[in-house]
Amino acid sequence: MESQREPGEIQVLDPQTVSRIAAGEVVERPASVVKELVENALDAGATRVEVEVTSRRGTITGIRVTDNGSGMTPKDADLACVRHATSKIRTLPDLLMVQSLGFRGEALASIAAVSRLSLTTRKAGSALSGVRIVNEGGEVIERVECGCPEGTTVEVEEIFFNTPARRKFLRSLPAEMAYITGILERIILSRPDVSFRVLHNRKTLMSGPGGSVHDAALHLFGTGVGCALIPLDFEGAVIRVEGVISRPSLSRQNPYQVFLSINRRPVQSRALSLAVKAGYGTLLPGDRFPVAILDITIDPHLVDVNVHPTKREVRLGREKDVKSELSRAVETALKDMDLTFGACESGKASTQSTISLASGPPAYHIDEPSPATVAEPGRSIRSDTDRRIRQTELGLSAGTGGQSPVPDLEVLGTLDNTYILACPRGGEDLILIDQHAAHERILYEQVIDAGEREPECQELIVPVSLHLSPREAAILPALFPLLEEVGFSIEDFGRGTYAVRAIPIVLGKQIGQEGVREVVDALLSGDVRQDLSEKERVLKVIACRGAIKAGTPLTGEQCRSLIAQLRRTAHPFSCPHGRPTMVTFKKRELDGLFFRT
C-alpha cells in the first residue's frame, strides 16, 4: 500500500501544475488572451493588427490575432511558448529600463497551457516559407513548414478546455465582449499610429485608422465626442504629455473615459485621473469627469511596471511631481482655448444664451431679498417642480402602514435652495433635509412599488440619438429587456448608434440628449463585475435623474408636500445610495456652540 504523505510536508510541484497556476494569474478571461496577443504584435513593430473573435451559442470559441510585425524565425517560434523565454530583456538591469509592453515571457506559455494555440509566423525579409506550431494544453502536437505572409498569426481555441472551473465562471457573451472591447479601446487610443481592425463573427466591431489620436477618437466615439476634443502638448521637468482632452461642456459621471498611457503602455490610475480632473479647476462640477486621452512620457527609471500580474498598474517615482505637472498640462491646454459650447458638440444649434458686456446701465434687475422665509421660484421652475412632486404624490403607496419614524415637521425655510430647514411640531431640535436625497428616496420606492405593473413611460416628440463607443455598444443590447421593463424604448440604428424613443415618466418631459446620455452613462460606466443587480442599478439611476435637484427653489407648500411624502416611505432616513436624507441638530448641541448652559 502506498504511504500517505504527512500533512505539512513540502514538495516541489510538477511542471504541469506550475503552468496551470501561472496561467490562472495571467489568463483571467478571453479578454486577457486578446490583450497579451495584441501587446506581442505591437512589441514586434506591427503597423497593422487584426483581431477576430468567434462565438457560438453565447460562448467565445476562438480568438485570432494577425499582425504585419517582424515575425519570428523557426528557432524563435520553437521557444515562443516556453515559459520565461523572451526577446524583450536579457538581464536584471534591462528590467529597470523596460519599455516594451511584454517582458516576462509568460503570456504565450500561459495561454497555451489552458487552450489549443496555433502559431504561424515568418520572419520579415526571410525565405518564402514560415512555420506553424500547434500547442495544446502546454504540449506541442504539431510543427510544420508552411507558406505565410511576413508577420505572425496566433489562433487560440477551446479556451479553458482543461480548467472547467474557470470556464464555468465566465460571464455572459455581451459581458465578455465588453471586456474585450474595453481593453482594445485603451490599446487603440494608446497607439493611434497603428491600424486596427476588430471583428466578431466576421462583423466589424471597431477600427483604428492608423493616424493621430484625434482620428482614433473619432472612429471609436463618433463626431459628438470628436468635435469636443482639444489638443494637449506639454513638456515639464519630469514628464511630457500629449493627447486630447474634452471641453468642459463634455463630461461624464465618473472617470471611465479618462484613458491614460505611460510610455505608450495603457494604465489605470485613479490618482492620475484625479490629477487630470484637477487641471479643470472650477470649469467642471465636483462630481463630473472629462473625456481625456493622454500619453505620458517619463524616464523609465521612474516607472516600475512589474507590480501586477497583468501589468494593469504601475508604480511611479516622484508621483507627486508627476500629478502636479499632469494637472498643469491640462490647465495650460484649456487656458487659451475658446471653450464656448458649440453646435458641433451638441449635434444641434446651441440653446445657451450669449453673454455680452456693454457699456451703460446693466440690462438686468436685481430683486431685493424677500422677507419670506422660503424662496419663491419663477413660474416655469415652480410648474416643473409641482409636476414632479404631484407625480410622486400620486404614485406613492401608503407607506409602512403604521406611524412614521419621522415626526410631524414644521417648515422653517430653505438654505441655499438645497436644504429644507424644519423642526418637530412642539419640539426644539433643528432638522436639515436634503431635498434631492429625500425626493430620490421617494422616487425609488415609487418605482419599486410599481412591481410587475405596466411601466409608465412617455414618448419623446423628437427621439434622442446616442452614439456609443464599442465597449458601451457591447453592453447596451443586453440591457434592452430590462430597460423596456422600466419604461425605455430604444432602437438600434447600427454602427453604435441608438435612438431613444420613450423614457420612464419619472424622468420628466424636459429631458433632452444630455439627460438621456447621463442616464445611459450611469448604466454603462459601472464595472460589469459589480454584485449589484442590474435592475436595482437601473432603478437607482432613474430615481437619481428624476429627483428634484439641489439648487432648485422650493415654495413652502412644496417643502411640506415633500416632507409628507418622505414620511410615508419605508426607509426615510437615507437615499438609495446610502446618503442621509436628513440631519438633526439637538438643541443642547446648539446651546453648546454658543456656550450656553
CA angle in degrees (0–180, nearest 5) for 153-154-159: 160
pLDDT tens, position by position, 123-181 = 988 777 899 999 998 888 999 999 899 999 999 999 988 888 788 888 889 889 989 99
What is the structure's pLDDT at 6?
62
Residue 87 neighbours by CB distance under 10 Å: 16
What is each CA distance from 222 to 61, 192, 261, 275, 465, in whole angstroms?
Answer: 30, 15, 21, 26, 12
Candidate ranges 424-438, 457-471, 490-504; pick with highest mean pLDDT:
424-438
Could you tell me if residue 494 is left (phi over 0), alpha (psi between -120 and 50 degrees) or otherwise beta? left
What is the structure's pLDDT at 128?
77
Query: In this predicted model, which residue has the larger pLDDT, 591 or 60?
Result: 60
What is the structure's pLDDT at 258?
94
What is the structure's pLDDT at 308?
63
Question: What's the mean pLDDT in 438-467?
Answer: 79
What DSSP assignment string belongs to 227-244? TTEEEEEEE-SSEEEEEE
> In this model, does residue 1 exceed pLDDT 50?
no
What is the structure's pLDDT at 129?
84
- E strands, 169-320, are 195-200, 203-209, 229-235, 239-246, 251-252, 258-262, 265-267, 289-290, 292-298, 303-304, 315-316
In single-letter form, the type of residue at position 170 comes to L
Work out the pLDDT band at 348, boundaries 50, 70, 90.
very low
Fold observed for domain 372-597: formyl-coa transferase, domain 3 (3.30.1540)
What is the structure's pLDDT at 524?
66
What is the structure's pLDDT at 97?
65
Among 161-170, 290-299, 341-350, 373-382, the range scoring the smallest mean pLDDT is 341-350
What is the structure's pLDDT at 354?
33
What is the structure's pLDDT at 490?
86
Domains 15-205 and 372-597 share a fold: no
Q: Where along the chain do its domains lie?
A: 15-205, 213-345, 372-597
Q: What is the mean pLDDT of the chain?
A: 81
pLDDT tens, position by position, 541-576 = 778 878 888 888 999 998 999 999 999 888 899 988
Question: What's the mean pLDDT in 251-275?
Answer: 90
> In this model, does residue 457 exceed pLDDT 70?
yes
Q: Which residues of 495-531 are buried (b: 16+ CB within 10 A; e: fewer)?
A: ebebebebbbebbbeebebebbbbbbbbbbbbebeee
Phi, psi torsion values for 273, nearest 5 degrees: -65, -40
- Among candidates 184, 213, 179, 219, which has minimal Cα distance to 293? 213
What is the structure's pLDDT at 83?
75
C-alpha 296/C-alpha 322 separation (Å) is: 9
Mapped onto helix, strand or coil, the DSSP state of residue 153 is strand
Question: What's the mean pLDDT in 298-325?
Answer: 81
Question: What's the mean pLDDT in 279-289?
Answer: 88
C-alpha 140/C-alpha 59 separation (Å) is: 26
Work out the pLDDT band at 443, boundaries 50, 70, 90.
confident
Work out the pLDDT band at 502, boundaries 50, 70, 90.
confident
pLDDT tens, position by position, 167-224 = 888 888 988 998 999 999 999 999 999 999 999 999 998 999 999 999 999 999 988 8
- Among candidates 179, 180, 164, which has minimal Cα distance to 20? 164
Question: What's the mean pLDDT in 580-589?
Answer: 90
Query: In this predicted model, which residue has the larger pLDDT, 592 or 118?
Result: 118
Instruction: Tell me how long the chain is.
Output: 597
> In this model, does residue 2 exceed pLDDT 90?
no
C-alpha 186/C-alpha 264 separation (Å) is: 10
Domain range 15-205, CATH architecture: 2-Layer Sandwich (3.30)
What is the structure's pLDDT at 185?
94
Among 453-457, 480-484, 588-592, the range scoring the smallest mean pLDDT is 453-457
In single-letter form, the type of residue at position 22 comes to A
**Is 1.20.990.10 the CATH number for 213-345?**
no
Mapped onto helix, strand or coil, the DSSP state of residue 585 is strand
pLDDT tens, position by position, 88-117 = 666 666 566 666 676 666 788 888 888 999
Strand partners, 303: 316
Query: In this predicted model, which residue has the larger pLDDT, 161 or 87?
Result: 161
Candidate ranges 9-23, 37-51, 520-534; pick with highest mean pLDDT:
37-51
Work out the pLDDT band at 529, boundaries 50, 70, 90.
very low
Phi, psi torsion values for 296, nearest 5 degrees: -105, 120
For residue 597, give the C-alpha cell: 448652559
Question: What's the mean pLDDT in 397-404?
Answer: 60
What is the structure's pLDDT at 360?
42
Helix extents (H) in 298-378: 319-335, 343-346
In single-letter form, the type of residue at position 427 comes to G
Distance between first and last Cα of the chain: 86
What is the structure's pLDDT at 469?
83
What is each CA distance from 117 to 24, 110, 263, in whole angstroms?
Answer: 16, 10, 30
What is the structure's pLDDT at 508?
63
> In this model, does residue 522 exceed pLDDT 80?
no
Phi, psi torsion values for 421, nearest 5 degrees: -95, 125
pTM of the model: 0.73
> In this model, does residue 367 exceed pLDDT 50?
no
Q: Which secondary-structure segment (H or E) carries 34?
A: helix 30-43
